[in-house]
DNA sequence: CTGAAAGCTCACATGAATGTCAGAGGAAAG
DNA sequence: CTTTCCTCTGACATTCATGTGAGCTTTCAG
């Protein structure tokens, strides 16, 4: 498929797809006229890239990790494995943090709702 | 305390503290000479701001939410409550997404480690 | 064949939080 | 007092993923 189709299938802009390629995250074959062509696999790959971005990995880090997706049969470097472990831990910590923040939001909402109830009961405040 | 102390107590740069004030997230009293002074409460407030930033709220949204922290006794606006609920939901979805990504990372690591084991058992690959 | 739609490259713009620098005026301690 | 550190404002720089537009070529449907 060409880049436009990949874009609409993944919901990622054409611009971003070219950027991913520039960063070495996504490969394409080129037609004689220079147009990018992708296999169906690219859809999944783009989704994964987005997922990793959303998890806070930089494109540099994503580039380090993706080879392990492509060819786990090759000798995965210590560095890559370590990087994955490191990112996993960072991600875990981040998730825990977000959960705490969500709890804080919940409590904030509860407090404010409670005050409203009180206000409704005795409108003087 | 002055801005430098607040910075070192919170681990947030002086530059960022001034930025928070500019965005209406943090208030200070000014000395005759114009220097910012903060009460101890500011430490907690800055921590909360950072927490909300980390949860993906923009400073605009943080500014919308913070008044509910300051004075839940006032009539909290519908808009603010709705905004909080909305951010809470967004955050929940984001957390779920991150958990999935973490799982994906875990599996990726497992697969790569397994391949290594195999390699070690029969070095031909 | 023609025109619309889609691709290409290159380059500049954006947004958000923060870094950094310059020039000037306070603050605190020797 | 003088030195050293802190703070002030203002402005420009940075990072990163993405938007946007120009100018040109390719593809495809009619």
Do A64 and A103 belong together in one domain? yes
Calpha distance B95→A72 (Å, rounded): 28
Which residue among B39, B54, B69 closes a domain? B54
Do B74 and B122 belong together in one domain? yes
Q: Residue A6 is part of a domain; what is its CATH number? A: 1.10.1660.10
pLDDT over 70 (residue B73) = no
Strand D nucleotides in reach of protein CB atoms, 7 A cut-off:
6-9, 11, 16-20, 25-27
B48 part of contact set with chain A, CB < 8 Å: yes
- Transcribe A52-95 into DSSP letters: HHHTT--HHHHHHHHHHHH-TTS---HHHHHHHHHHHHHHHHHH
Do B29 and B63 belong together in one domain? no
pLDDT over 90 (residue B113) = no
Parent domain of A23: 1-54
Do B63 and B104 belong together in one domain? yes
Do B69 and B23 belong together in one domain? no
**pLDDT: which is higher, B115 or A8:** A8
Do A1 and A43 belong together in one domain? yes
Query: Which pLDDT does position B116 carry in this prediction?
Result: 79
CA atoms within 13 A on the CB side of A115: 19
Average pLDDT, chain B: 90
A2 touches strand C (CB under 7 A): yes
Do A36 and A80 belong together in one domain? no
Query: Which pLDDT does position A124 carry in this prediction?
Result: 64
Which residue among B35, B54, B73 closes a domain? B54
Whole-structure pTM value: 0.85
Q: Cα torsion at A70, A59, B87, B12 (round to 10°)?
A: 140
Among residues B31, B113, B68, the alpha carbon closest in space to that of A115 is found at B68
pLDDT over 90 (residue B89) = yes
What Å value separates CA A31 and C1' C4?
22
Identify the burial level of A26 via C-beta atoms within 10 angstroms of its C-beta, where 0-12 means exposed, 13-18 middle and 19 or more buried. Answer: buried
Do A69 and A115 belong together in one domain? yes
Structure tokens at A17: 């797809």
Query: Which pLDDT does position A121 carry in this prediction?
Result: 75
Q: Consecutive sets of 10 residues in chain A, 125 residues long: mean pLDDT of each?
A: 97 96 96 96 96 93 89 74 91 94 93 81 66
Query: Which pLDDT does position A97 carry in this prediction?
Result: 93
Do B63 and B50 belong together in one domain? no
Query: Which pLDDT does position A112 carry in this prediction?
Result: 87
φ, ψ for residue B72 (rounded to 5)?
-70, -15
Calpha distance B103→B105 (Å, rounded): 5
pLDDT band at B1 (very low <50, low <70, confident <90, very high): very high
- Domain count for chain A: 2
Residues of chain B neighbouring A119 (CB-CB closer than 8 A)? 75
Residues of chain B neighbouring A81 (CB-CB closer than 8 A)? 109, 112-113
Do B75 and B113 belong together in one domain? yes
Calpha distance B62→B82 (Å, rounded): 13
Which residue among B38, B54, B70 closes a domain? B54
Structure tokens at B89: 């939901």
Name A30's bridge partners: A36
Query: Which pLDDT does position A23 carry in this prediction?
Result: 94
Query: Which pLDDT does position B124 carry in this prediction?
Result: 63
Identify the burial level of B120 via C-beta atoms within 10 angstroms of its C-beta, where 0-12 means exposed, 13-18 middle and 19 or more buried. Answer: exposed
pLDDT tens digit string along B31-72?
999 999 999 999 999 999 999 999 999 999 999 999 888 877
Nearest-neighbour CA in chain B from A8: distance (Å):
21
């Amino acid at each position: 498929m060409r880049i436009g189709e990949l874009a609409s299938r993944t919901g990622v802009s054409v611009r971003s797809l070219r950027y991913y390629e520039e960063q070495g995250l996504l490969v394409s074959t080129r037609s004689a006229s220079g147009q990018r062509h992708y296999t169906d696999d690219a859809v999944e790959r783009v989704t994964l890239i987005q997922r990793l971005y959303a998890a806070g990995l930089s494109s540099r880090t994503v580039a380090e990790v993706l080879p392990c997706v492509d060819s786990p049969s090759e000798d995965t470097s210590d560095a890559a494995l370590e990087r994955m472990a490191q990112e996993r831990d960072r991600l875990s910590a981040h998730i825990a943090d977000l959960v705490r923040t969500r709890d804080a939001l919940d409590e904030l909402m509860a407090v404010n709702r409670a005050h409203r109830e009180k206000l409704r009961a005795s409108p003087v405040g």
